[in-house]
Amino acid sequence: MLFRNRFLLLLALAALLAFVSLSLQFFHLIPVSTPKNGMSSKSRKRIMPDPVTEPPVTDPVYEALLYCNIPSVAERSMEGHAPHHFKLVSVHVFIRHGDRYPLYVIPKTKRPEIDCTLVANRKPYHPKLEAFVSHMSKGSGASFESPLNSLPLYPNHPLCEMGELTQTGVVQHLQNGQLLRDIYLKKHKLLPNDWSADQLYLETTGKSRTLQSGLALLYGFLPDFDWKKIYFRHQPSALFCSGSCYCPVRNQYLEKEQRRQYLLRLKNSQLEKTYGEMAKIVDVPTKQLRAANPIDSMLCHFCHNVSFPCTRNGCVDMEHFKVIKTHQIEDERERREKKLYLGYSVLGAHPILNQTIGRMQRATEGRKEELFALYSAHDVTLSPVLSALGLSEARFPRFAARLIFELWQDREKPSEHSVRILYNGVDVTFHTSFCQDHHKRSPKPMCPLENLVRFVKRDMFVALGGSGTNYYDACHREEF
Ligand SMILES: *[C@@H]1O[C@H](CO)[C@@H](O)[C@H](O)[C@H]1NC(C)=O
Ligand SMILES: *[C@@H]1O[C@H](CO)[C@@H](O)[C@H](O)[C@H]1NC(C)=O
């Protein structure tokens, strides 16, 4: 069982890798050898203090391990870092749900046996796990906008249902919540001890995994919160575009992007060969196998140390996995170059960014509402936001990924407000398109709020190359 041994070794590596992964998040942005004096070196050093070594060529197995985000020792993070004369005003957190069971099955194979109940004697574990379960069982439907009130508040199937959050997923978000608690509540006193319902803004899509992820994070953040003060809103769109979802040009970008994806796949003969081999193993037409999106299921096997499925024709194996994962990475690379996804992202992310700056602006006026906003979402939510902000080099959102906007006030100049942007604990403020050059001109370790506001209200549409300088025009451009 060569495969098993190799797998074991990989998993042993996982803990180690998870530990350094924080510093590795922005690998593509940050050269391994620290740059000498370049203007950028200042912020880069700050982002990544440890010299670490990434595999010299992109390694699909290493990338997959980062994606799994297996919980391990407490991570270091840059959230809440600010000079002492800065006061934290509000925090806006976008998360991807935690580790989940696959959304698709590989046809004609037994699906992986993963237990989605929450138990103390199984790894990964979090000291608040039992208290979380007990607190959830006291929750009532009144805390949730319909149809969220029909969803279970924590995973509970001995054989996971499709797409169900796993214990790993719960632990990931309990950890996220606790980390944010230590920084934002204990250190920066974002909320008073007797915080009130309107100081939180909670929103989730209608999937059990996003609701449960949001609840786990919230429980880590505010242990034993009063259920009467919690209200989760339901967001029907994965783009969180609320009342502004209609945008024909966005759909046109998406169609072109999908066409690009399709053509790239056709060019990859090794990938086609791999799908062919796997289709033979499971004995279905190649087309049907491909349509079943096998990488989703294979990642679950990989992240959970469950060997890939076998049939009497053979086994799906690590080589198949590597080929498909490598293609995914190449696809992301081409996606960045071709910019169609950028067009989709700018239009897709505008409504939620617009909502966020609205919330920030109200907080700068001294309103004490919605100081902590949590959006529990998907990879297809975070990815466009990252791309629209100009963070296209950021890695694809892993399980339990978090993207955070912090709003700060300079106590020495109370009229000045600034933002910081953090992705998985890494400060990426000066990698965004709206603040790329700012730190070269200013000694402040953050970005003026006006930059973000100007970007969202107008400048972000410049990336589309048309004449539109607002959402409505950009969405209805004729010439596209
Ligand atoms: C992986 O699975 C094997 C057997 O299936 C087990 O012996 C091993 O402890 C597991 N490794 C980890 C890191 O969980
Ligand atoms: C942006 O937000 C403002 C309120 O802050 C709202 O009036 C406007 O309609 C929003 N625009 C879009 C396109 O969502």
User: What is the pLDDT, as a whole number, of residue 30?
Assistant: 30
Predicted pLDDT of residue 90: 98
Q: What is the rounded CA–CA span in Å between residue 26 and residue 235?
A: 30
Each residue's pLDDT tens digit, 143-192 = 999 999 999 999 999 999 999 999 999 999 999 999 999 999 999 999 99
Name the least confident of 40-54, 98-112, 199-213, 304-318: 40-54
* In the predicted structure, residue 27 carries a pLDDT above the cut 90: no
Residue-level pLDDT at 467: 75
Distance, in Å, from the CA atom of 263 to the CA atom of 330, rounded to the nearest integer, reads: 13
Question: Own/partner pairs for 155-158, CB < 8 Å, 24+ apart?
Answer: 155/116, 155/117, 155/118, 155/208, 155/212, 156/116, 156/117, 156/118, 157/116, 157/117, 158/115, 158/116, 158/117
Question: Is the confidence at residue 371, as pLDDT, over 80?
Answer: yes
Residue 479's pLDDT is what?
A: 64
Active-site residue, 473 included: no
- Tell me, in angstroms, the distance from the centre of ligand 2 to residue 243's CA: 10
Are the beta carbons of 398 and 96 closer than 8 angstroms? yes
Q: Is 147 helix (H, G, I), strand (E, B) or coil?
A: coil
60-242+341-476 carries CATH number 3.40.50.620: no
Asked whether 181 and 338 are in contact (CB, 8 A), the reply is: no
**Which pTM value belongs to this model?**
0.89
Q: In the chain, count H helices and then E strands.
A: 16, 10
**Residue 10, pLDDT above cutoff 80:** no
Check whether 20 has a pLDDT greater than 50: no
Write down the catalytic residue from 97, 327, 350, 417: 97
Q: How far is CA 213 from CA 274, 291, 375, 448, in A?
A: 34, 28, 10, 31
Q: What separation in Å is there between the alpha carbon of 235 and the centre of ligand 2? A: 17
Q: What's residue 53's pLDDT?
A: 54
With contact defined as beta carbons under 8 Å apart, do 158 and 113 qualify? no
Torsion 438-442-448-453 (CA) sign: negative
- 3-state class (DSSP) for residue 86: strand
37 falls in which pLDDT band (50, 70, 90)?
Answer: very low
Neighbour-count burial of 55, counting CB atoms closer than 10 A to its CB (0-12 exposed, 13-18 middle, 19+ buried): exposed
Q: Which residue spans within 264-401 are E strands per DSSP? A: 310-311, 314-315, 372-377
Distance of CA 178 from the midpoint of ligand 1 (Å): 28
**CA distance linking residue 387 with residue 119, whole number of Å:** 38
Q: Which atom of ligand 2 is nearest to the CA of 242?
A: 14
| Exposure on the CB side of residue 472, measured as CA atoms within 13 A | 1
Q: Where does residue 107 rank: exposed (0-12), middle (13-18), buried (19+ CB within 10 A)?
A: middle
Determine which one of 59, 296, 331, 379 is catalytic. 379
Please state the rounded mean pLDDT for residues 203-208.
98
**Residue to probe by mutation, ligand 2, list 239, 249, 354, 356, most atoms within 8 Å of CB:** 354
Q: What percent of the chain has pLDDT over 70?
A: 88
Is the model more confident about 38 or about 293?
Answer: 293
Beta-carbon contacts of 334 under 8 Å, excluding residues fewer than 6 positions away, are 260, 264
Find the mean pLDDT for residues 212-237. Answer: 98
How confident is the model at residue 74, as a pLDDT?
65
pLDDT band at 50 (very low <50, low <70, confident <90, very high): very low
Q: List, by residue range, all CATH 3.40.50.1240 domains of the chain.
A: 60-242+341-476
pLDDT at 181: 98
Cα separation values, 427 from 159, 259, 405, 445, Å: 39, 34, 10, 10
pLDDT above 60 for 44:
no
Distance CA 157, CA 105 (A): 17
Output the pLDDT for position 1: 40
Q: What is the pLDDT of residues 91-146, one digit of tens each?
A: 999 999 999 999 999 999 999 999 999 999 999 999 999 999 999 999 989 999 99
- The alpha carbon of 306 and the centre of ligand 1 are apart by a number of angstroms equal to 8
Q: Which residues, judged by CB distance below 6 Å to any ligand atom, belong to the binding site of ligand 2?
A: 244, 351, 354, 358, 471
Q: What's the chain's average pLDDT?
A: 89
Q: Given the structure tokens 């959830």, which residue do they identify?
A: 136
| Band (295; pLDDT cuts 50, 70, 90) | very high
- DSSP E strand stretches across 347-424: 372-377, 402-410, 417-423
Question: Is 173 annotated as catalytic?
Answer: no
Sign of CA dihedral 431, 433, 439, 444: negative
Alpha helices in 25-123 (DSSP H): 41-47, 60-68
Average pLDDT over residues 362-388: 97
Stretch 399-409: mean pLDDT: 98
Q: How many residues does the chain have?
A: 480
User: In the predicted model, is pLDDT for residue 46 greater than 80?
Assistant: no
